[in-house]
Structures are given as structure tokens and as C-alpha cells.
């Protein structure tokens, strides 16, 4: 069973990697080479960072290399995500520290910067032939306990990374969602000109 074309139907041209990025659930039984994996986290490392605090941390486990660690992260996911994420090559939990220094000022951009790091990682992944499916559906308290995340650090998001597989391996309900066309709101719903809600002429 082949995937339909998942390339974004854009109103304006964008880079091919951005247009081709999407979040599959069907992953192949294939390990990620160490140098390729390193490239992903190197991309995350060089993401923009407020005050250069670099408030991102990643707890990762590769299924073929560290099955026990993989099982720990998998166990923190919601059951609906475990069904398909168990086949990914790697699972991660991204973590941030909202207050970088004891007694110091908080970093209001900590979560934003983690998002930027993950965005860089996701595009580098696609450049390496990998796909990433990010998930809010995980138990943060369970992640703290299972992964020994210290106090003062916030688990932000989980993600599954791997190579694309045939969607026929997915349960029917998940497969139907997997094969559905991608969609986004129009630019006019999100980009305003000068004041909130005012149409920007090019996107009206």
C-alpha cells in the first residue's frame, strides 16, 4: 500500500524539505546509524536560543540499541500513541529548565526555544531520510519518575523518529487517519496587517 502524495499544498513556494515534512505513524524496523542520529541533535544544538541559554535537553533511547530505555520512554506515552510508536527506531522526551540559575531570573522563552530545537531536528531528520512524529500525548509525571528527570526541569514533548514504512501495517483506524489528506488554515486566518484581525492585503 503506497502513501498518497503528502507534500504540502502551499499558497507560496517554500523549501522542499518544509513542504515534504509531515508526521507519520508507520515506522520501519530499521536502526538509525550513529552518525545520522548525531546530525539530528547537532541541528538541534545550533537552533536559536534566547540569551544563548540553550535550554533544551533530550532523553533518548534507540529501540535496537537500548530496548530497556526504549521501553521506559514508551511506557510514558498515552496508550493510543504506544500502539504505533513502539515500532519507531528512537523515542525521545524533550526537557527544558524554565529557571536556568538558582535564585536567578526565569527564562520566559525556554519552551519556545525547545520548540525551535525540535523544529531544526525535524528538518534535519527529513534531510537524512527520517521522519519525526511529535506527541503531546505522554504522562509528564511518569516521565519524570521513569527517566529520573530532576526537579526544576519540565518535560515538554515526546517524539518518535524512524524510517517510513508501509501504512498497511497500521491498525485500520490509525491507517485511515494516516492516509487522509493534509490540511492547514489559510494565511489570512493567522497573519494580520498592522493590527489584530486586520487583513493583510496579500493574503485576504
pLDDT (mean) for 74-102: 95
Number of domains, the chain: 1
Q: Is the pLDDT of residue 101 over 80?
A: no
| 108 belongs to a structural domain | yes
| 182 belongs to a structural domain | no
Q: Which three cell numbers stand for residue 107?
A: 527564562
Place of cell 506515552: 77
pLDDT of residue 2: 81
| 188 belongs to a structural domain | no
Percent of the chain with pLDDT over 90: 93
Q: Is the pLDDT of residue 139 over 70?
A: yes
| 12 belongs to a structural domain | no
* Span 150-190, pLDDT tens digits: 999 999 999 999 999 999 989 999 999 999 999 999 999 99
| 194 belongs to a structural domain | no
Q: Which domain range does residue 165 map to?
A: 24-169
| 7 belongs to a structural domain | no
Which of the four pLDDT bands, split at 50, 70 and 90, describes residue 104? confident
Bridge partners, residue 94, by sequence: 58, 157
CATH label of the domain that carries residue 75:
3.40.109.10
- Give 82's contacts (C-beta < 8 A, 6+ positions apart): 74, 75
* Span 2-50, pLDDT tens digits: 888 999 999 999 999 999 999 999 999 999 999 999 999 999 999 999 9
Q: Is the pLDDT of residue 66 over 90?
A: yes
- Range with the poorest average pLDDT among 70-74, 95-99, 138-142: 95-99
∠ Cα 86 179 40 (to 5°):
50
pLDDT of residue 102: 67
| 110 belongs to a structural domain | yes
| 90 belongs to a structural domain | yes
Amino acid at each position: 500500500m503506497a502513501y498518497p502524495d503528502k507534500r504540502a499544498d502551499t499558497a507560496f513556494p517554500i523549501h522542499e524539505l518544509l513542504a515534504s515534512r509531515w508526521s507519520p505513524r508507520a515506522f520501519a524496523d530499521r536502526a538509525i546509524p550513529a552518525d545520522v542520529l548525531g546530525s539530528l541533535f547537532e541541528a538541534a544544538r545550533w537552533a536559536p536560543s534566547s540569551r544563548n541559554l540553550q535550554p533544551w535537553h533530550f532523553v533518548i533511547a534507540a529501540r535496537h540499541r537500548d530496548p530497556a530505555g526504549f521501553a521506559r520512554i514508551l511506557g510514558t506515552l498515552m496508550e493510543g500513541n504506544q500502539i504505533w510508536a513502539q515500532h519507531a527506531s528512537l523515542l525521545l522526551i524533550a526537557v527544558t529548565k524554565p529557571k536556568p540559575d538558582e535564585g536567578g531570573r526565569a527564562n520566559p522563552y525556554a519552551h519556545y526555544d525547545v520548540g525551535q530545537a525540535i523544529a531544526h531536528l525535524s528538518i534535519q531528520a527529513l534531510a537524512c531520510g527520517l521522519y519525526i512524529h511529535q506527541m503531546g500525548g505522554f504522562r509528564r509525571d511518569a516521565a519524570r519518575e521513569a527517566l529520573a528527570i530532576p526537579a526544576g526541569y519540565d518535560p515538554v514533548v515526546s517524539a518518535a523518529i524512524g524510517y517510513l514504512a508501509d501504512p498497511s501495517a497500521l491498525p485500520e483506524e490509525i491507517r485511515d487517519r494516516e492516509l487522509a489528506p493534509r490540511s492547514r488554515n489559510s494565511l489570512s486566518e493567522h497573519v494580520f496587517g498592522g493590527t489584530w484581525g486586520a487583513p493583510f492585503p496579500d493574503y485576504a
